Amino acid sequence: MRTGFVPPQTFLGAPSGPPGRACRAAVVGLPFDCGTHPNRIGSRMGPGSIREMSTHLRRYDPRTNLDVPQQLGLIDCGDVPVTAGLIEESFSAIETAIGQIVGAGIVAVTMGGDGAVTLPQVRAMARHHPGLCIVHIDAHTDAYPIQGYNTATSFRHMAQEGLIDAARSFQIGMRGPTMVPGVYEFCAELGYGMITMGELREVGYQAVARRVIETIGARPVYLCFDMDFFDPSVAPGVCTPTWGGCQAHEGLAFLEMLAPLESRILDVNTVSPPHDPGGMTAFLAATVMWTFLASLADRHR
């Protein structure tokens, strides 16, 4: 008679638990959303769905023949204990957890959750990485001239709190309507370099990647990848779907172009499983994470 238990599902089947000495990258779930969106509640379920869909991926990168999880000593730390809608308590828990990982010199790969989870992670990063730069890939600036802590203000707060080098940071992929006027102008006032989706297509992905890399250089980077950067035709299950985004191959290729950056964290957020019963958005988010990890493994070999 067979005994024992099957362990819980982890990202890419990585071992679960706290990171050890051999760990170079750790996956962390942030199952939090503010619960204030008028009709798209569900990103709190994102981490579980991404883990589930990661079973469609494989361990080896055929370009390098590396076993990506093994090369990085990848660990899935599980989820941070948060409560959707309770912002202050959840932000504190996220900041503490991410601080433990990045403080140990480990690259964090996090799964939201809505866009609000970015601010506490940046607070944790800033304590350990002075001169932190942001590369924010999103359909929206999340730096709106409105009050409060929510998905639309994370990048306003981090700039005004002096957590980042805004002059060397980028907002990439912006498009679509906004809920208040003056959003792009306010983003510029905060100091961010903004490249809209139209400009990204006109200038070209490679040219934009070169500009970002040359501007930031060897400075530490917080890489934030909101899944609504993709068009809803390939990523329908997001918090704020916005037409006119990139296709899957374009977004994944752009991420690979940014591999030379000294990214100390990848924050993948806004996967909302209830709005994508087929799970294709979570599968694409898992592939974004795998693409980042494969490039990281190549650098570490």
**What does the pLDDT average to over 179-189?**
96
Whole-number pLDDT of residue 212? 98
**What does the pLDDT average to over 16-20?**
90
CA dist 253 and 77 (Å) reads 28
pLDDT tens per residue, range 49-85: 999 999 999 999 999 999 999 999 999 999 999 999 8
pLDDT tens per residue, range 26-57: 999 999 999 877 778 899 999 999 999 999 99
Query: What is the third-level CATH fold of 24-300?
Result: Arginase; Chain A (3.40.800)
pLDDT tens per residue, range 265-275: 999 999 999 99
Q: What distance lies between CA 23 and its chain's CA centroid?
A: 20
Q: How confident is the model at residue 222 (pLDDT cuts 50, 70, 90)?
A: very high
Whole-number pLDDT of residue 229? 98
Whole-number pLDDT of residue 45? 95
Q: Is the pLDDT of residue 3 over 70?
A: no
**What does the pLDDT average to over 162-189?**
97
**Among the ranges given (34-48, 59-73, 151-165, 186-200), the one the predictor scored with the smallest mean pLDDT:** 34-48
pLDDT tens per residue, range 111-126: 999 999 999 999 999 9
Whole-number pLDDT of residue 2? 62
CA dist 149 and 56 (Å) reads 35
Domain coordinates in residue numbering, the chain: 24-300
Nearest to 110 by CA among 295, 292, 297: 292
Determine contact, residues 87/114, Cβ cutoff 8 Å: no
- The whole-model pTM stands at 0.96
If one compares 293 and 2, the residue with the highest pLDDT of the two is 293
**What does the pLDDT average to over 3-31?**
91
Q: Is the pLDDT of residue 252 over 80?
A: yes
Q: How confident is the model at residue 1 (pLDDT cuts 50, 70, 90)?
A: low
If one compares 35 and 225, the residue with the highest pLDDT of the two is 225
Nearest to 9 by CA among 282, 278, 292, 220: 282
Whole-number pLDDT of residue 8? 83
